[in-house]
Amino acid sequence: MLIFVLDDEALLLETELRVIRQVRPDAEILPFQRAQEALDWIQTQGREPDVAFCDIQMPGLTGLEFAVRLRQLSPVTKVIFVTGYDQYALDAFQVHAHGYVLKPLRTDRVEEELAFWSQPVSPAPEAGALPGSKKLRVRCFGSFEVFWQGAPLSFDRRRTKELLAYLIDREGAFCTAEEISTALWEEEWDLKLTKNRIRVLVSDLKTCLDRFGLGELLIRRSGLLAVRRDLLDCDYYRMLDGDPDALNSFDGQYMQQYPWAELTSGRLYFRYINSN
């Protein structure tokens, strides 16, 4: 495992390195005091980190700006923000961070974040994946649509479809209620209210998937949500995997009905331009 640790304060950086090494002694851990240095390392070395622990307040590129640029260079890297200010939580969720912990960094919090990252989200086909013909077909390019055996899948609630779209956009990563709330109800600050809404949507989504024998698609674990990539036939995933047909079918539009999808849309457009 390759882990980046970014913090502009040398003493804090050394402390964070020591804590992370206690949790992952076999990992390759690289420290950076400037975000641009980490981005330059990826480009010159041609390697992508598995995880990046990143401070938010840094000179030059902030942690949030770093996360956006990192997704363009290394979409597979999981970003975990480490900061002394919980006021940045919503900003972190909006750039699709995979974790958020407060300083001082503790071994139990590092272990928890890395455990969530390393949990298998997409079991191998031998573990019970449905045959290719039984996969749910998803179209992300243009407007988001879901098809089962050639027919559009209908949901009882409009937001249920958006919830599924958001989980697919996150590429199988576990999502918290706070992340989902920020994406689907950007201007709603009552987290208790939105958590209740999410419970309703999850129930509706599960009911709809169970109706077609697709209940295994949705993963629920300790308040976290994810989807199994191996049960989806998705143009977005095929493009990420280097499928030339999927790449050629990209028209510059991605889940265009959802404002929160603009970040991924920009990243895909950047990949498309560089491939031509």
Give residue limits of the domains in the chain.
2-118, 125-275
Q: Is the pLDDT of residue 212 over 70?
A: yes
Share of the chain above pLDDT 90, in %: 38
- The three-class DSSP label of residue 82 is strand
Give the Cβ contact number of residue 155 at 10 Å: 17
- The three-class DSSP label of residue 232 is strand
Q: What is the pLDDT of residue 160?
A: 93
With bands split at pLDDT 50, 70 and 90, how would you rate the model's confidence at 20? very high
Q: What is the mean pLDDT of the chain?
A: 83
Q: Which of 98-102, 138-142, 209-213 has the lowest mean pLDDT?
A: 98-102
pLDDT tens digit string along 146-187?
998 878 888 878 899 999 999 999 998 899 988 999 888 877
Tokens standing for residue 60? 């030059």
Q: Compare 123 and 10 and report the one with higher pLDDT.
A: 10
Give the residue from 183, 142, 164, 159 showing the smallest Cα distance to 231.
Answer: 164
DSSP per residue over 18-61, as a string? HHHHHH-TTSEEEEESSHHHHHHHHHHH----SEEEE-SS-SSS
> Do residues 208 and 160 make contact, with C-beta atoms less than 8 angstroms apart?
yes
Q: Compare 245 and 40 and report the one with higher pLDDT.
A: 40
Q: Tell me phi and psi for residue 273, to 5 degrees.
A: -60, -40
With bands split at pLDDT 50, 70 and 90, how would you rate the model's confidence at 67? confident
* Spatial distance between the Cα atoms of 46 and 42, rounded to a whole number of angstroms: 5
> What fold is seen in the domain 2-118?
Rossmann fold (3.40.50)
With bands split at pLDDT 50, 70 and 90, how would you rate the model's confidence at 232? very high
Q: What is the pLDDT of residue 154?
A: 81
> Do residues 120 and 112 make contact, with C-beta atoms less than 8 angstroms apart?
no
Q: What is the pLDDT of residue 112?
A: 77
**pTM confidence score:** 0.53
Radius of gyration of the chain (CA): 19
The backbone region for 262, taken as left when phi is positive above 0, alpha when psi lies in -120 to 50, beta otherwise, is: alpha
- The three-class DSSP label of residue 110 is helix
- The three-class DSSP label of residue 224 is strand
pLDDT tens digit string along 247-256?
888 888 999 9
Q: What is the pLDDT of residue 124?
A: 36
pLDDT tens digit string along 90-138?
444 444 445 667 788 889 888 877 775 554 433 333 333 344 446 899 9
Tokens standing for residue 104? 């001082």
Q: What is the pLDDT of residue 75?
A: 78
Q: What is the pLDDT of residue 4?
A: 96
Q: Tell me phi and psi for residue 133, to 5 degrees.
A: -70, -15
> Do residues 180 and 225 make contact, with C-beta atoms less than 8 angstroms apart?
yes
- What is the average pLDDT across 40-57? 92
> Do residues 53 and 106 make contact, with C-beta atoms less than 8 angstroms apart?
no
Q: Compare 249 and 8 and report the one with higher pLDDT.
A: 8
> What fold is seen in the domain 125-275?
Arc Repressor Mutant, subunit A (1.10.10)
Tokens standing for residue 214? 């697709």
- The three-class DSSP label of residue 172 is coil
